[in-house]
Amino acid sequence: MLDNFFNPQTIAVIGASRTSGKVGHDILKNLIQYGYQGAIYPINPEAPEILGLKAYPSILDVPGQIGLAVIAVPPKSVLEVVVQCGNKGIDSAVIITAGFKESGLEGTKLEDELVRKAKESGVRFIGPNCLGIIDSHSRINASFAKGMPEKGNIGFFSQSGALGIAVLDLALSEGIGLSKFVSMGNKADISDEEIMLALSEDDNTKVILGYIEGIRDGKKFVEIASQVSKKKPLIILKSGITSSGIKAASSHTGALAGREISFDAAFKQSGVIRAQTVGELFNYALAFANQPLPQGPNVAIITNSGGPGILAADACDKLGLQLVPLHKDIVDKLRSFLPPYASFYNPVDILGDATAERYEKALYTVVQDDKVNAILVLLTPTAVVDVEGTAKVIANISHIIDKPVLTSFMGKKSVEAGTKILMKYNVPNYSYPEHAVSSLNTMFKYNLWIKKHEEVYPTFNNAREKVRDTFECLNNEKREHLRESEVYEVLDAYGFLQPKSLLARTPEEAVAAAKGIGYPVVMKILSPHVIHKSDIGGVRMNINSKKEVENAFFDITTRVRHVVPNAHINGVMIQEMISGGKEVIIGITKDAQFGHMVMFGLGGIYVEVLKDVSFRIVPLSKDDAHEMIRETKVFPLLRGVRGEAEADIEAIENSLLILSQMALDFPQIIEAEINPLLVKKRGEGVVAIDARFIIGGD
């Protein structure tokens, strides 16, 4: 994919310049200097030669074919150049030039025009307003960044050029290899998703890192990210998540910054590993790039000092990794060669005078414990420690076993010689044990993700046809709310049980209805002009006798007439009163970026005060429904506390999947909420007590 970007036969630099420091000069220089092997054509209408290469007035003057065009001409000329590219048969371009959407209204128009022209001309492009691209394997440095990262297996794409520069500088300084680097700029044509796909198919890339501020098409993102993350770890730093952040994001690239909640759901559903800081991006990447995945949560720690061992143990505990007790045989073996004051349990403390040999023996012994899935080796630079020797033995053992080994050689200068060796032999080292632990945890979580069985997306086929007319009629009538009877009909079509209910137009009918349904009953006004029924006294609960029914009928109708004098009153709904069970809220909302999302929360103050809700983007898989219930803090209440019976959790899951289907069937739903959905005991199902729907255009 995108072959002509990362493996072109020839490259033209359009806007190549003789003046050092100019972007068009620096790109050309980078291409030459870092060893690109194909032909390079500087394009400059005035210079006959630049940096020793023959220059051409325009690409049309270049004799042979051109694989990739790198464009660094002024913004107004970019459109013309792109058309020329099309004429020359160039299908791939990197547009460095700034002055488009990021610069205001004028620029936005220019960018729109650019997209149109490029499409007409058959030219796909990265940018505009970007730093360029780098491929360390095909030796292409088509960027104006300083330096070229070492060959490596980490692919990185960034919406922010500046952050890209900082990351490149870090990679260069620390000797971290990158496979590809792509500065995405305004993403006017080639999208994050396309780059993610290209990196997922790139044999040189083992881990994919990305920095994004906003995305264009949420659905597409989830679809592609899920696909990519099943093949390779996809680690993303997403900014602009908070209110201040969003302000900054909008003034920066004009990208519509996503709401935290929808991105969170999207990342969860698509297996994206979310980094919270640039530091985490690197920490995680190093672990994935260099070590196998842990097959379970069990960690063993080997250390030459207690303090760091405790810090690491604390960190494991916080994240849910297990400090597994070592097998008796392993403990015995450790005891056979470690000094008596050592700790033979986990963390294994091999003491401050530990030699490289002692580290080697301890590590070699511990890895043989079948229960241990990952090993963390800690070292503090005590007076007698052999930093280099220890690094070597760790590297050696790490190469012959299939469990991840991560290290934290603490300190700096005293351990540098060791950490360089570790780095060289693919053992990721972290200055602080906590970072090693969080990286390990991320690997463990990712392993769970890729081992997850195929997602199941159940469908419920019958409902749509039944209520299609209801939704369409709404559209014709320009109404936004479904009426009571329509709500009943829709919920019924989708298989939701609802309380028995009958419409009564007179007190007598009401009494008959109540008798038929069985006491106690609930009575509610039914009027197209009354939406918030209970606010105006239009609802009465727990009605137990004929007398009470008659009184309530009179009360309700009088009050409604009083408060909404012109309301048309259809009558009073007599409804079965269902008690017992737990009240939950389920619903559908529509997010600007990701479209419909399904929500779950326990009813009442749990939602209002604690905001203890979970979201998933439509369509929901069975796993999604399963997980979203369990990730709320109040989940134990559904399981039953203090000897209570377990609620019918499966029925809630099913209800969430039905809502997902409903959102697919009727995209015009802007908001839907069943509140409360009464959940009975396990096996006894749920009842939709009340619901409302807000509908927009298609």
Looking only at residues 24 through 53 of this chain, which bind its own copies when binding is defined by CB under 8 A? 26
> Which range in 196-204, 426-434, 455-463, 484-492 contacts its own copies by CB under 8 A?
426-434
Report the residue number, 73 or 491, with the smaller CB distance to its own copies. 73
Report the residue number, 162 or 531, with the smaller CB distance to its own copies. 162
Whole-angstrom distance, CA of residue 537 vs CA of residue 520? 19
By the rule CB under 8 A, 425 interacts with its own copies: no
Report the residue number, 160 or 204, with the smaller CB distance to its own copies. 160
For its own copies, the binding residues in 258-277 under the rule CB under 8 A are 276-277
By the rule CB under 8 A, 441 interacts with its own copies: no
By the rule CB under 8 A, 670 interacts with its own copies: no
Q: From the CB of 345, what's the least distance to its own copies, in Å? A: 7
Whole-angstrom distance, CA of residue 350 vs CA of residue 346? 11
Residue from 58, 103, 108, 295 in contact with its own copies (CB under 8 A): 103
Task: Give the 3-state secondary structure percentages of the chain, helix then strand then coil, rounded to 5.
Answer: 45, 20, 35
DSSP 239-258: ---SHHHHHHHHHHH---BP
> Which range in 79-87, 187-195, 605-613, 667-675 contacts its own copies by CB under 8 A?
605-613
Q: What distance, in Å, lies between the first and last C-alpha atoms of the chain?
A: 35
Q: From the CB of 633, what's the least distance to its own copies, in Å? A: 6
Residue from 97, 121, 136, 160 in contact with its own copies (CB under 8 A): 160
Angle at 285 between CA 284 and CA 291, to 5 degrees: 90
Report the residue number, 416 or 489, with the smaller CB distance to its own copies. 416
With beta carbons less than 8 A apart as the criterion, state whether 688 and 497 touch.
yes
Q: From the CB of 23, what's the least distance to its own copies, in Å? A: 8
For residue 158 the two structure tokens come to 């960034």
Q: From the CB of 468, what's the least distance to its own copies, in Å? A: 37
Residue from 127, 152, 161, 185 in contact with its own copies (CB under 8 A): 161
Q: From the CB of 145, what's the least distance to its own copies, in Å? A: 8
For residue 148 the two structure tokens come to 């070229």
Report the residue number, 202 or 673, with the smaller CB distance to its own copies. 673
Rg (CA), the chain: 32
Q: Please name which of 119, 15, 11, 114 lies closest in space to residue 69, comparing C-alpha atoms.
A: 11
By the rule CB under 8 A, 311 interacts with its own copies: yes
Residue from 15, 210, 297, 309 in contact with its own copies (CB under 8 A): 309
For residue 547 the two structure tokens come to 């007398």
For its own copies, the binding residues in 319-358 under the rule CB under 8 A are 323, 341, 343, 345, 347, 349, 352
Q: From the CB of 667, what's the least distance to its own copies, in Å? A: 31
Across 72-117, where does the E strand assignment appear?
92-95
> Which range in 33-41, 140-148, 530-538, 585-593 contacts its own copies by CB under 8 A?
140-148
Residue from 37, 173, 462, 579 in contact with its own copies (CB under 8 A): 173
Q: From the CB of 249, what's the least distance to its own copies, in Å? A: 5
By the rule CB under 8 A, 192 interacts with its own copies: no
Please tell me the count of residues contacting its own copies according to CB under 8 A: 89
Q: Which residues contact 278 (CB under 8 A, 6 or more apart)?
A: 163, 166, 167, 170, 237
Q: What is the DSSP letter of 609?
A: T
**Cα-based distances in Å from 517 to 430, 574, 583, 676, 678:** 69, 8, 22, 21, 19
Helices (H) and strands (E) in the chain, counts: 24, 29
Report the residue number, 63 or 341, with the smaller CB distance to its own copies. 341
Residue from 162, 417, 456, 531 in contact with its own copies (CB under 8 A): 162
Q: Is the peptide bond before 667 cis (omega within 30 degrees of 0)?
A: no
Q: From the CB of 203, what's the least distance to its own copies, in Å? A: 29
By the rule CB under 8 A, 248 interacts with its own copies: yes
Q: From the CB of 158, what's the least distance to its own copies, in Å? A: 7
> Which range in 63-71, 194-202, 303-311, 582-590 contacts its own copies by CB under 8 A?
303-311
By the rule CB under 8 A, 461 interacts with its own copies: no
Range 370-403 burial, b when 16+ CB lie within 10 A, else e: eebbbbbbbbbbeeebbbebbbbbbbebbeeeeb
For its own copies, the binding residues in 624-643 under the rule CB under 8 A are 633-634, 636-637, 641-642
Report the residue number, 248 or 563, with the smaller CB distance to its own copies. 248
By the rule CB under 8 A, 462 interacts with its own copies: no
By the rule CB under 8 A, 593 interacts with its own copies: no
Residue from 279, 516, 518, 696 in contact with its own copies (CB under 8 A): 279
Residue from 54, 76, 231, 318 in contact with its own copies (CB under 8 A): 318
Q: Phi, psi (5° rounding) for residue 229?
A: -70, -15
Q: Which residues contact 454 (CB under 8 A, 6 or more apart)?
A: none
With beta carbons less than 8 A apart as the criterion, state whether 578 and 552 touch.
no
Range 72-92 burial, b when 16+ CB lie within 10 A, else e: bbebeebbebbebbbebebbb
Residue from 72, 118, 241, 273 in contact with its own copies (CB under 8 A): 241
With beta carbons less than 8 A apart as the criterion, state whether 506 and 528 touch.
no
Q: Please name which of 344, 313, 311, 307 lies closest in space to residue 329, comparing C-alpha atoms.
A: 344
Q: Please name which of 431, 373, 427 lies closest in space to residue 397, comparing C-alpha atoms.
A: 427
Q: From the CB of 635, what's the least distance to its own copies, in Å? A: 9
By the rule CB under 8 A, 108 interacts with its own copies: no
> Which range in 108-116, 410-418, 664-672, 675-683 contacts its own copies by CB under 8 A?
410-418
By the rule CB under 8 A, 407 interacts with its own copies: no
For its own copies, the binding residues in 354-393 under the rule CB under 8 A are 380-384
Residue spans of alpha helices (H) in 232-386: 243-253, 260-270, 278-290, 306-319, 328-337, 356-366
**Cα-based distances in Å from 217 to 118, 266, 337:** 20, 12, 60
Report the residue number, 245 or 537, with the smaller CB distance to its own copies. 245
Residue from 402, 605, 643, 697 in contact with its own copies (CB under 8 A): 605
Whole-angstrom distance, CA of residue 167 vs CA of residue 169? 5
**Cα-based distances in Å from 621 to 405, 453, 456, 660:** 35, 11, 5, 9
By the rule CB under 8 A, 506 interacts with its own copies: no
Whole-angstrom distance, CA of residue 614 vs CA of residue 611? 9
Residue from 242, 459, 475, 558 in contact with its own copies (CB under 8 A): 242
Q: From the CB of 207, what's the least distance to its own copies, in Å? A: 20
By the rule CB under 8 A, 175 interacts with its own copies: no
For residue 355 the two structure tokens come to 């030699």
Report the residue number, 144 or 284, with the smaller CB distance to its own copies. 144
